[in-house]
Amino acid sequence: MIRNPFFSYLKQISSLLPSFYKIIFVFFSLIAFSIILLVSCSPAKRFPEKDEKTVTSKEETKSPETSTDEEEELNNDFSEIRVSLQGQVSSETLQLQSPTVLYKEKNKLVTLDSGSSIECYYTPEKIKLVTDNDNFVGDKFTLLSTGNDGIIKLNGKHYRGRIQISQSGYSIDIINIVKLEDYVKGVLAKEMPIGKNEENLEALKALAICIRTYAVKKMKDGKVHFDIYADTRDQVYGGVDAEQPITNKAADETKNRILNYDGLPATVFYHSTCGGYTESSDNVFTKIEIPYLISVEDGNRPNCKISPRFEWEEKYTRETIVDRLISYSLLSNRNYTLYNITVNSKFKSGRVNELEFTLIDEHDEEILITINGNEIRSVLRTSNNKNILWSTMFDVSINSNQVILSGRGFGHGVGLCQWGAIALSQDGQNYTEILEHYYPGTETGFIND
């Protein structure tokens, strides 16, 4: 039998009291005990009582801190991605083309009509927002659409999810926080030709998996303010405006699929045109060789031969080459004459490893400048100076005052060749076969496997 310590304590106290007071003490003690027992055994409230204030308006049910499809994505650690739209700037003006709600943290501040503007400024340790009628100061603000489609129309572009205006060091960031799957849809058509009908569908599926895998790796990096840039520093993102029915289908049919190696998300690179051979990552990006990012022959007859950049030619004057070396801070002035350009070494893929420039200065003294690997593309650029050089897979010839680069391919050459993938898709291969070709030893899996 288990003895209750309350009754033992009651017995000890009552033994010290006279009979009359003993009866009164025991009576009131039992009443107090009954009240305590009743309260302690009552169920805890899980839902608010009817007379408690509840959220009723559609607008207020949205939270700027959670996904709109929270129930569907509850167990997905990578349900949303933070995309930096503007980069770090000291000020920015946002023009709204749709009704939008402005929040500070989780508190609603104001509803802004279509046509409203928000001027964003960085002030010491704070952000200042100036709307049509109000001023606000804080660390972080969020914009949410009031429309049923959940699309924010901002500066002439359309975005799903929400827009965050936040402090980043001594500047501000304009960030689109969007579902990962919607992000993939906003990138896919920006990064690969969509073709006619469904001829490129399997290639688009393969690239959708690459885009998603790249994004997941970026999220795993754990950046403080955002995960990924919306431009060529990462992947080109166009929001809703970039979506196409065929690319949305490719994203939907590979939903949550990523590329794995040894059970972990793979390091993924891709490019336009390999020129016949892809490149090993350690020759371009990584210090060590990655088993699935090695040089791969792109078929006996290169798959990417259908690319408009499979073969190319760029022509320069000797003076133009000197100007490019100056622009890259490899020469201090124009008092040099280009004498020769020599390819000192190439990788097995045929891409230039080391390029040497021989110049003569004003005192007839010889100077040598060498540049390596992918840096060559940034130094030389295209002859019109509008782009970096198409690739490093080229030969050099000099005729009188003309320097000619005869090359193949477009891009760094590592990983999936997009035009090669398109050719394989049109030849009937599926996305898993395409990925196995360009990333040997990898396999597809799901994000949270």
Q: What is the pLDDT of residues 359-401, one digit of tens each?
A: 999 999 999 999 999 999 999 999 999 999 999 999 999 999 9
Q: In the structure, what pLDDT confidence band is assigned to residue 132 with cuts at 50, 70 and 90?
A: confident
For 71-85, 91-105, 123-137, which range has the lowest pLDDT when averaged over its residues?
71-85
The pLDDT of residue 56 is above 70: no
Least confident of 85-89, 136-140, 227-231: 85-89
Residues 6+ apart with CB under 8 A from 33: 6
**How far apart are the C-alpha atoms of 408 and 391, rounded to whole Å?**
7
Per-residue CA distances from 438 to 421, 441, 447 (Å): 9, 9, 21
Q: Note the helical H segments in 41-71.
A: none
pLDDT at 438 over 70: yes
Residue pair 257/209 in contact (Cβ under 8 Å)? The answer is yes
* Average pLDDT estimate for 90-117: 93
| Edge-to-edge strand ranges of the sheet holding 100-104 | 107-112, 100-104, 140-145, 162-168, 171-179, 80-84, 228-229
> Are 218 and 265 spatial neighbours (Cβ–Cβ below 8 Å)?
no
Distance CA 418, CA 368 (A): 37
Please tell me whether residue 227 adopts helix, strand or coil conformation: coil
The DSSP bridge partners found for residue 162 are 177
Distance between CA atoms of residues 118 and 396, nearest Å = 53
Q: Six-digit token pair at 250? A: 């490719």
Phi, psi of 148 (to 5 degrees): -65, -25
Tell whether the model's pLDDT for residue 145 goes beyond 50: yes
Q: What is the biggest distance separating any 2 CA atoms in the chain, rounded to whole angstroms?
A: 127
Instruction: Give one word for 81, left, alpha or beta, with left for phi > 0 and alpha for psi -120 to 50.
Output: beta
Q: What is the mean pLDDT of residues 331-357?
A: 97
Residue spans of beta strands (DSSP E) within 180-317 = 228-229, 257-261, 264-265, 270-271, 311-317
DSSP state of 90: S
DSSP symbol at 134: -
| CB 62 within 8 Å of CB 105 | no
Are the beta carbons of 401 and 225 closer than 8 angstroms?
Answer: no
pLDDT at residue number 65: 56
**33-47, 79-93, 302-316, 344-358: least confident range:** 33-47
Instruction: Answer for the pair 227, 83: CB distance below 8 angstroms, yes or no.
Output: yes
Query: Given pLDDT bands bounded at 50, 70 and 90, which one contains residue 19?
Result: low
What does the angle CA 143 – CA 56 – CA 52 come to, to the nearest 5 degrees? 120
| Mean pLDDT for the chain overall | 86
What average pLDDT does this structure show over 306-328? 98
User: Are the beta carbons of 118 and 163 closer than 8 angstroms?
Assistant: no
Specify the pLDDT at position 105.
84
Distance, CA of 108 to CA of 105 (rounded, Å): 8
Nearest Cα neighbor of 191 from 160, 151, 380, 183 is: 183
- Ranges 23-27, 179-183, 444-448: which has the least confidence: 23-27
Q: Which of 66-80, 209-223, 368-382 has the highest average model confidence (pLDDT)?
A: 368-382
Q: What is the pLDDT of residue 168?
A: 80
Of 347, 326, 322, 342, the C-alpha closest to 412 is 347
Check residues 143 and 17 and name the one with the higher pLDDT: 143
Q: Give 264's contacts (C-beta < 8 A, 6+ positions apart).
A: none
